[in-house]
Structure 1
Amino acid sequence: MLTHEQVKTHWWRVALVVAAVGVAAFARHDPFAGLSGLVPILVWCGGPVRSRRTGIVVGVVLLVLLAWFVVPRELGLAGPWVPAAIEVYWLHTTLAVAVCAIGGRRPSGRHVALVVAGFVVTGGVLFSEWETPPGDEGVSPGPAQLRVTESTACGSGGCWRELEATGDRAPEVMAEYLLARNFTPVTSHPTIGDPQFCRTTGLVVTHRLCAGIVPLTANSVRVMVIVV
């Protein structure tokens, strides 16, 4: 049973872990990335620290770092300042380990193990997603006023996701829907339709998702979603 003195000494550890779990749970589209982002905070809060003040300051920095790597993407934001999901595994881990090493004054074996594990997980995720179509990533489920069906297809260039939507002014409504989710019009790709809208994330490695709109009739449209 915890004593009053233990609670007084270690309350900050529990508070940081609870807050970090709340941030990680926000990663609805990439839950595994959210869980991976929790690891550095769990390691920091579970290990020895120089002082309570150091533990709290470093923990808060780790919490802010985790929020930066999770929240903007989940809000549908885009741009070079929004980390891509794959960067959570290696870049976030590397930055978090650097923060922990500075807070602890010197790196330790567990810090090195975290960095190595981050790159190993990154390789595994990349390999598992090599021949899979893009996820929702701001395109699915589509506008509420349209009836949307989804499917996947694969060809020599890889796999992609297709959405077919029907409803009043479906092509225009779908274009407005993409614009509202920070997709921007770009020069059309010859294989995925015209017009084309793309959204870019990534601090170091750019992740670019494009959705090509193919009008079928005045009230129906096909959307092809690929990573380019």
Structure 2
Amino acid sequence: TLAGYGPAGPAVVERFAARLGLAAAPLPWHTRRQPVLDLAAALGGLLAAAGKVALDVGLLAQTEVGEVSEGGAGRGGSSAMPHKRNPVDSILVGAAARRGPGLVGTLFAAAGQEHERAAGGWHAEWEPLLDLVHLAGGAAARTARMLTHLRVDPQRMRANLDATGGLPMAEAVAARLAPALGRAAAHDLVRRATTGPHFRDALLADAQVRAHLSEADLDAALDPRAWLGSAGHLVDRALAYGRSGS
């Protein structure tokens, strides 16, 4: 401890930190737990972010959705079903993410420590902090591999959209009718058209729709490729932010 070095204690700390290429702590570390809490929060946040990606990949990889699958030769095979490919990375990253909050909570619960040296609180940090480091490192590596080899099936995505009969594009149709009919009236008109089994046919059969939208206009409104909003811009911003290392 610094007390053990007498007046030379701070100088020893500074020289030791310089030797290791580290910043010298401004105060004794024994009950100063904020650096540990900052690390725990960062690791917990990393696990949460990786877990979100893993959850979406796992959901999109379900047989009834089938829009993505994990790649990588020899990965995800089933011992019982020869054709099956299990999303193993997304499953394991999701499992790690579920453990994160409990470990972070333990570290925060242990942060209130007695006087100048803890009687149990400091020691309670060791294993959960080590577990967090291991989990976060493993989750980051698995997420990187999962995304590097991710297989995306645009045809299946389009088939899933087409199976809805155009209903996800109800907002786009209402937006095109709103300037002529008003927002509320356009919303109600489109809502009524969604109650039947054939959304496009119901819209074409409505005189108010035909008065303001041609068949070509309606097909353009029902095309999901034309209703991406700010998605492209946001993707570009996210990629630029990631590449900048900010």
* TM-score, structure 2 normalization: 0.27
* TM-score, structure 1 normalization: 0.28
Larger CA Rg, structure 1 vs 2: 2
Q: Counting helix residues as a fraction of each chain, which structure ranks higher? A: 2
Q: Counting strand residues as a fraction of each chain, which structure ranks higher? A: 1
